Amino acid sequence: MHKASILLVLFVSVTSSLFGIEQSFRLKPNEHRGNISSELFFLEDPESNFSAKDVYRSMAWKKIEGDSLDFNFSKKAFWLKFRIKFREEIRENLYFVLKSKAHDRLELYIPNGVSPVQLAGDKLPKSEWFVKNVLYPSLMLQGNPGEEKVFYVKIKSESIMSFPVEIMDEAGLRANLAIETGLFTLAACLYALLILVAILYYRASGYKEFLFYAGYAFCMGASYDVNYGNAIEILWDDSLLWGEKSNFFFFNLGGVFGFQFIRRFLETERELPWVDRMLQICSLILAVSLPFVFYLDTISYLTKTNEIVYTFSIPLILGAGIYLRKKGNRKLNLFLVSWGIYMTLGYLSIFYYLGILRYNFLIVYSVPLFFPADFLILLYNIVQKYSQDLQEKNTLLENLKEFLNKPRYARSKISGVDIEVSLNALESLMEREKLFREEDVTMNLVAGKLGLTNHQFSELLNSRLGMGFAAYINSKRIEEAKRLLLTGEEENILNIAFNVGFGSKTSFNVEFKKSTGLTPKQFKNLS
The pLDDT of residue 158 is: 74
Residues 6 or more apart whose CB falls under 8 angstroms from that of 458 comprise 402, 405, 443, 468, 469
Residues 6 or more apart whose CB falls under 8 angstroms from that of 508 comprise 481, 493, 496, 497, 500, 502, 520
d(CA 108, CA 220): 34
The pLDDT of residue 278 is: 95
- Using the predicted structure, report yes or no on whether residue 390 has a pLDDT greater than 50: no
Q: Are 27 and 141 in contact (CB under 8 A)?
A: no
- Start-to-end C-alpha separation, the chain: 104
d(CA 20, CA 63): 7
| 35 vs 12, higher pLDDT | 35
pLDDT digits (tens, 9 = 90+) for 165-186: 999 999 999 998 888 778 778 8
- Using the predicted structure, report yes or no on whether residue 385 has a pLDDT greater than 50: yes
Q: Which helix H or strand E contains 390, and what residues bound it?
A: helix 390-405
Band of pLDDT at residue 362, cut at 50, 70 and 90: confident
Residues 6 or more apart whose CB falls under 8 angstroms from that of 256 comprise 283, 286, 287, 290
d(CA 261, CA 32): 45
> What percentage of the chain exceeds 90 in pLDDT?
23
Q: Are 370 and 341 in contact (CB under 8 A)?
A: yes
Question: What's the rounded mean pLDDT across residues 26-31?
Answer: 88
Question: What's the rounded mean pLDDT across residues 186-197?
Answer: 85
Taking alpha carbons only, the member of 501, 511, 419 closest to residue 465 is 419
The pLDDT of residue 386 is: 64
One-letter amino acid of 75:
K
pLDDT digits (tens, 9 = 90+) for 495-525: 888 888 887 777 788 888 888 888 888 888 8
Question: What's the rounded mean pLDDT across residues 325-350?
Answer: 82
Burial of 379 (0-12, 13-18, 19+ CB in 10 A): buried
The pLDDT of residue 24 is: 85
Per DSSP, the three-state class of 124 is coil
The pLDDT of residue 335 is: 84
- Using the predicted structure, report yes or no on whether residue 18 has a pLDDT greater than 50: no
d(CA 103, CA 233): 14
Question: What's the rounded mean pLDDT across residues 265-289?
Answer: 91
Q: Are 149 and 141 in contact (CB under 8 A)?
A: yes
Q: Which helix H or strand E contains 93, and what residues bound it?
A: strand 93-98
Q: Are 232 and 188 in contact (CB under 8 A)?
A: no
Per DSSP, the three-state class of 33 is strand
- Using the predicted structure, report yes or no on whether residue 397 has a pLDDT greater than 50: yes
- Using the predicted structure, report yes or no on whether residue 16 has a pLDDT greater than 50: no
One-letter amino acid of 5:
S
Distances (CA, A) of 246 to 232, 303, 472, 486: 10, 13, 44, 55
Burial of 203 (0-12, 13-18, 19+ CB in 10 A): middle
Band of pLDDT at residue 11, cut at 50, 70 and 90: very low
Question: What's the rounded mean pLDDT across residues 323-343?
Answer: 83
Total residues found in the chain within this entry: 527
Band of pLDDT at residue 2, cut at 50, 70 and 90: very low
- Using the predicted structure, report yes or no on whether residue 411 has a pLDDT greater than 70: no
Taking alpha carbons only, the member of 42, 163, 35 closest to residue 96 is 35
The pLDDT of residue 255 is: 92
Band of pLDDT at residue 10, cut at 50, 70 and 90: very low
Window from 298-307, 373-382, 454-463 with minimum mean pLDDT = 298-307
Angle at 179 between CA 175 and CA 182, to 5 degrees: 135
d(CA 519, CA 513): 5
pLDDT digits (tens, 9 = 90+) for 213-254: 899 989 988 887 777 766 555 555 554 445 567 778 888 999
Q: Are 424 and 432 in contact (CB under 8 A)?
A: no
The pLDDT of residue 62 is: 94
d(CA 449, CA 425): 9
- Mean pLDDT rounded to a whole number for the chain: 81
Band of pLDDT at residue 210, cut at 50, 70 and 90: confident
Angle at 53 between CA 52 and CA 58, to 5 degrees: 100
Radius of gyration of the chain (CA): 31
